[in-house]
Amino acid sequence: MNERELIESLSDKLDINKTDIGRVIHGFIDVIKEEIYNNNNIKIRNFGTFFVKILKASSYINPKTKEKIIKSERKAFKFKPSKEIFIELNKK
């Protein structure tokens, strides 16, 4: 499902016009981005948690060139689904 299909589906389900649904979705995404950029978690009950994980610095060797490559510490955006999502998924 792409963004347009999501907007259409929500519009049909909630009987709200597509323009308003689009604004809500974009606002939702903007709030998540702001909170993630500020290193805050977003927990949505019965859905899941959006969070930032710090990946430690690491090094490895390129097998072709035998060159040692060092990756510095970095942040990764993660989503952990709630238990309810897994329960519903396995019921179907």
Which residue range(s) make up the domain with 13?
Answer: 1-40
In sequence order, which ranges of 1-82 are alpha helices (DSSP H)? 3-14, 18-37
For residue range 11-43, what is the model confidence (pLDDT) as tens digits? 999 999 999 999 999 999 999 999 999 989 999
For residue 8, being part of any structural domain is answered with yes
CA distance 92 to 86: 10
For residue 6, being part of any structural domain is answered with yes
For residue range 45-83, what is the model confidence (pLDDT) as tens digits? 999 999 999 999 999 998 999 999 999 999 999 999 999
Split into its structural domains, the chain has a count of 1
Residue owning tokens 């897994």: 86
